[in-house]
Amino acid sequence: MSVDVQKNLDDKMKKSISVLKEELNTVRAGRANPALLDKIVVEYYGSPSPLKNLSNISVPDPRTLMISPFDPKCIHDIEKAINVANLGINPSNDGKVIRLVIPPVTEERRKDLIKVVKKYGEDSKVAIRNERRDANDELKKQEKAGEITEDDLKKSLDEVQKKIDKCIKDIDQIVVDKEKEIMEV
């Protein structure tokens, strides 16, 4: 397989899996996880800033997130951003820190979360299949241009398929692991 096509495919597959993991981190599974707050942006002195750049986020116990702002003046802005993010968690502010108590997840909510997780997994698989198509098209172009032989093309297409199959298997495992995490009480 062409080195460029192989490297490009590997990079894009890693990126797709990385994006899937980031998305799954934002799915609340009943346990306090600082990644839940990764996508929250706070309006800080007129410019949007990620919450993790403005505060220290800790997990004092399995059901609580504690946000300690570096600048105590921005605590109300952080609280507002959390409310706007619609996490389904009410922040409690004592003037110095904000505490988020993660409520236990109901059985119905768990099933909804699993649907979301499966959708993220399916989206990742679609992205991977698109990468397979792009890689195969590139290899066919190279064969037409005479850069690789017909035998090399066939071998390269098989290699691409093996890589895609392995990546899809990895995605399925990541989704299964997240489902198990959600179903834990």
Q: What does 83-122 look like in DSSP terms, one character per residue?
A: HHHT-S--EEE-SS-EEEEPPPPPHHHHHHHHHHHHHHHH
Could you give the C-alpha distances from 62 to 26, 30, 72, 133, 174, in angstroms and in order? 16, 9, 25, 43, 22
- Interatomic CA distance for residues 138 and 142, integer angstroms: 6
Whether the pTM exceeds 0.85: the reply is no
**pLDDT number for residue 4:** 82
* CB 82, CB 100: distance < 8 Å: yes
The enclosing H or E element of 64 equals strand 64-69
What percent of the chain has pLDDT above 70?
Answer: 97
Q: Take residue 174 and report the two structure tokens written for it.
A: 């990541």
Q: Which residues contact 34 (CB under 8 A, 6 or more apart)?
A: 52, 57, 58, 59, 65
**Which residue has better confidence, 126 or 62?**
126
Which amino acid does the sequence have at 49? S
Who contacts 48 (Cβ-Cβ below 8 Å, separation ≥6)?
A: 41, 42
81-90 mean pLDDT: 80
Cβ atoms of 130 and 136 closer than 8 Å: no
Mean pLDDT over 158-174 rounds to: 93
Q: What is the pLDDT of residue 93?
A: 86
